[in-house]
Amino acid sequence: MSKKVRIAVLVSGGGTNLRALIDAQNSGIIKSGEIVLVISSKAGAYALRRAEAAGIATAVCEKGGRQQSLFEQDILSELKSADAELIILAGFMNILSADFVKHYPDRIINVHPSLIPSFCGSGFYGLRVHKAALEYGVKVTGATVHFVNEIPDGGRIIMQKAVEVDPEDTPETLQRRVMENAEWIILPAAAEAVCKEIGENK
């Protein structure tokens, strides 16, 4: 069997999607890849504690007041030292530039909490996505895993899963249902599918 694809996960916050990836690795849903590094754009992110508890190497790359290119150079150097082959954005709240993504064509995937092309692109992240969906009055929303290219949330779609909106939903209750019923399922499934493909073409 070929060697497992080396995965780096980029996070910024609570890291429930990271937890879903770690659980999937432990249960064998992810078998063609291995998480070797977690990079957080926030020093205090709880996601870092989850990674440490799972014995995964961590790094912090904060943007601070710096230029985007310097921030991205830090991330690139961490990815290169870890020999990362697939990058998973799991609640990573920074948009990566075209210059960055060209280093990893078809090797960066992202989970977004809506059915793209609805409620996506710059300005749509986290709870804002669910707030916008409720304000619009959609009856069905969901989550999407897609490749990352130079257009925010614009890369090729890998997997989507729909979730019904409840008339009583708040952004918080909707966010929770989309995570439980869509994100935590399709992100590990898409990660395995992409790792398998990378592994077969190595």
DSSP 8-state symbol, 180: I
Which candidate in 103, 112, 130, 146 is catalytic? 112
Is 112 a known active-site residue? yes
Here the tokens at position 128 are 């804002």
- The reply to whether omega before 117 is within 30° of 0 (cis) is yes
Closest separation in Å from C-beta 45 to ligand GAR: 8
For ligand GAR, the closer CB: 89 or 198: 89
Task: Please state, in angstroms and rounded to a whole number, the distance separating the CA atoms of residues 196 and 198.
Answer: 6
Closest separation in Å from C-beta 93 to ligand GAR: 6
Site of tokens 């990362």: 84
Should residue 22 be labelled a site residue for ligand GAR when binding is judged by CB under 6 A? no
Should residue 112 be labelled a site residue for ligand GAR when binding is judged by CB under 6 A? yes
For ligand GAR, the closer CB: 11 or 115: 11
Should residue 159 be labelled a site residue for ligand GAR when binding is judged by CB under 6 A? no
Should residue 90 be labelled a site residue for ligand GAR when binding is judged by CB under 6 A? yes
Q: Is the separation of the CB atoms in 155 and 190 below 8 Å?
A: no
Here the tokens at position 167 are 């008339």
Here the tokens at position 4 are 């497992």
Should residue 50 be labelled a site residue for ligand GAR when binding is judged by CB under 6 A? no
Sign of the torsion angle spanned by Cα atoms 150, 12, 158, 153: negative
Which one of 77-85, 123-131, 133-141, 191-199 is the stretch in contact with ligand GAR (CB under 6 A)? 123-131
Number of continuous H segments (helices) and E segments (strands) in the chain: 7, 7
Closest separation in Å from C-beta 1 to ligand GAR: 30
Should residue 16 be labelled a site residue for ligand GAR when binding is judged by CB under 6 A? yes
Task: Please state, in angstroms and rounded to a whole number, the distance separating the CA atoms of residues 121 and 146.
Answer: 13
* Phi, psi of 185, deg, nearest 5: -95, -50
Should residue 111 be labelled a site residue for ligand GAR when binding is judged by CB under 6 A? yes
Residues with a known catalytic role: 112
Contact set with ligand GAR (CB under 6 A):
11, 13-17, 47, 90-91, 111-113, 125-126, 129, 179, 183
